[in-house]
Each structure stands twice: as C-alpha cells, then as structure tokens.
Amino acid sequence: MSPFVEINLAALLFLPWFLILAVLYWIYPRQPRPAWRRGFDVGALAASAVAFVLSLHWAQAWADRGYGRMWQQIVGTSVSYGVFLAALGLAFWIRHRMLRKQ
C-alpha cells in the first residue's frame, strides 16, 4: 500500500459518512435562511474537516507503534472522528443560538 494512502486511510474510509453528516448539517433546519448562514456553514464544515485531518495525523503519530501499524489507524480514526463530531456539534449549537436571536 502506498504511504500516502496508508496515512490517510481513515479519511478515505470515513469520507462517505462525513459527506452524509455535512449534507444533513447544511440542510437542517430548512428555515430561516438568513444571508450570513451560507458563509457560516461553509466555514463550519471547512473547520470541521481541517480539525479532523490535523487530529488524525496527530493521533497516528501519538499512537504506540508497539501494537502494530493497525493500532495507529484505530487510534487515529477514533480520536479524529470525535474531533469532527465535536467541531460540527459546536457549530450546530452556535448556529442555533444565532438563528434564535433573529
């Protein structure tokens, strides 16, 4: 397996699920749709993706290599998935608060 694919395997395998979550985040709630919402949503999705990639590489470097190369993928995937969900959840909460103020 190529080193690039090996280090990014978790990102490649989770891509369909992240796409589903991103579409659900983008669509709901359907109303209201103020002018600032599109920019906020793009920024939130980009920040969540960047946080995922950075935490993935950090967690893979942090994982104990004594348990084998697969353990790096497991730790990296677990940590980065949690970071992605936390970032997207925080963005959802902030957006909800901003929409309520209008």
Neighbours of 52 (CB within 10 A): 23
Q: State the total domains in the chain.
A: 1
Rg (CA), the chain: 16
Domain that holds residue 12: 3-100
pLDDT value, residue 13: 85
Average pLDDT over residues 87-92: 97
**Predicted confidence (pLDDT) at residue 21 exceeds the cutoff of 90:** yes
What letter represents residue 100's amino acid? Answer: R
pLDDT in tens, 40-61: 999 999 999 999 999 998 998 8
